Chains A and B, each alone.
Chain A
Amino acid sequence: MSGNVYVYIFLMAAVTYAVRVLPLTLIRRQIESRFLRSFLYYVPYVTLAVMTFPAILGDLNAPLMQLLPGLAALAVGVALAWAGAGLFPVAAACCAAVFLAEWLRTGTLL
């Protein structure tokens, strides 16, 4: 490491905060453009979908069997969310699905 660790950390924090706070403070009025409003309406769903899949499967270079726990979590999560379950139940069920699938796949608990 050549630079000062604390300078690195504070520089990272400053850039990250600027990225977050500038739109919040500079855009103070309702946006009129229908295109922009529609764009911003769709952004969260697309972003979260892109980040969820295929990341939920883990390392895609792993053998197919190792992708099954992630697929189980995806199936369980989509089904429960579709049925109207809240954030915490869906998240917990996804964790349980991975844990159970790993157990079934390997035959050992931990």
Chain B
Amino acid sequence: MTTTQPLPSRPRRFLRGMRDGVPIGLGYLAVSFSLGIAAGGIGLSAVQGFLASLLNNASAGEYAGFALMAAGAGYLELALVILVTNARYLLMSCALSQKFSPETPFFHRFLVGFDVTDELFGLAIAQPGYLDPVYLYGAFAVAMPGWSVGTAVGILAGDVLPGRVVTALSVAIFGMFLAIIIPPAKENRVVGVLVPLSFAASLAFTVLPLFSGLSAGTRTLLLTVVISGLAAACFPVKEDAEGGAA
């Protein structure tokens, strides 16, 4: 049906990406604002914080990196910790690699790879059919300034916004996640079980003494591999059912 229609024009796709990037950019502004407060706390200047966020685009990874900088860690240790805290992007990029059309020019993979974040990945997989880099660049154009400027503003202004507003804005990200995972959970019986199961497992790993020492990044990676692996082994996806997201 839709595959036989020509794509909308590039500016139109870019603008659509920008529109869908607005909640991401707003959420980033709030989250990176608190990241900026942490960065300011260890003595980074606004320019350094802006640069770190513009180049890294990773919340957990940047938090971890800043903490290691403050501790005067060696370069190798820093690289290893960044590798582990960001390892979930490896899985996301594997999934995204399958969504590229064979016709999409290769250089787009280098550009898309610059900003594979939890939220933008969610946006990318929520689109039906092949990945449209132009649409994604529109979302990047809103999300990246939100993230890097938010960090710099956080460093400069400390807590200029009322804490209550920051608290409220910080759940925007989770609202987006829910908007991405709940509709397929309603449609697909396996996903419908996996979502509450993942909630429960994540809660257990957060509070149980044996696992609560794991960093959030490691917990996410571990649970993702185990739960998705079990689901794939027990409930392999039928070829016709996976077209939407895989």
Contact at A15–B171, with CB atoms within 8 Å?
A: no
Given A5-B44, A16-B82, A52-B181 in contact, is the A46-B228 Cβ separation under 8 Å? yes
Quick check: is B35 within 8 A (CB to CB) of the other chain? no
Chain B, range 102-141, C-beta contacts under 8 Å to A: 106, 109-110, 112-114, 116, 118, 121-123, 125-126
> Which B-chain residue is minimally distant from A41 (CB atoms)?
B246
The A contact surface, by secondary structure, is helix
Categorize the interface residue count of chain B.
35 or more
Categorize the interface residue count of chain A.
35 or more
B96 to chain A, nearest CB (A): 6
A70 to B24, CA, bound (A): 19
Which of B165, B177, B190, B233 gathers most chain A CB within 10 Å? B177
B33 to chain A, nearest CB (A): 14
Tell me how many residue pairs across A and B have CB atoms closer than 8 Å.
Answer: 302
* Chain A hits for B174, CB < 8 A: 52, 55-56, 73-74, 77, 94
B169-200 Cβ-contact flags toward A at 8 Å (1 or 0): 10111111111111111100011001100110
B65 to chain A, nearest CB (A): 5
User: Given A52-B199, A85-B179, 19 more contacts at CB 8 Å?
Assistant: A1-B70, A8-B68, A8-B75, A11-B82, A12-B65, A17-B114, A23-B93, A23-B94, A38-B242, A43-B228, A46-B231, A47-B224, A50-B219, A69-B167, A77-B182, A87-B123, A87-B176, A90-B175, A110-B162
**Could you pull out 18 A-B pairs where Cβ atoms are within 8 angstroms?**
A5-B48, A9-B65, A11-B78, A13-B56, A15-B79, A16-B61, A21-B113, A28-B106, A30-B98, A37-B237, A41-B95, A41-B232, A45-B198, A46-B194, A46-B224, A74-B174, A94-B172, A98-B171
Q: Chain A interface (Cβ within 8 Å of chain B)?
A: 1-3, 5-13, 15-17, 19-25, 27-28, 30-31, 34-56, 58, 60, 69-70, 73-74, 77-78, 80-82, 84-88, 90-99, 102, 109-110
Q: Chain B interface (Cβ within 8 Å of chain A)?
A: 20, 22-23, 26-27, 42-44, 48, 51-52, 55-58, 61-62, 65, 68-70, 72-75, 78-79, 82-83, 86-98, 100, 106, 109-110, 112-114, 116, 118, 121-123, 125-126, 162, 164-165, 167-169, 171-186, 190-191, 194-195, 198-199, 201-203, 206-207, 216, 219-220, 223-224, 227-229, 231-233, 235-237, 242, 245-246
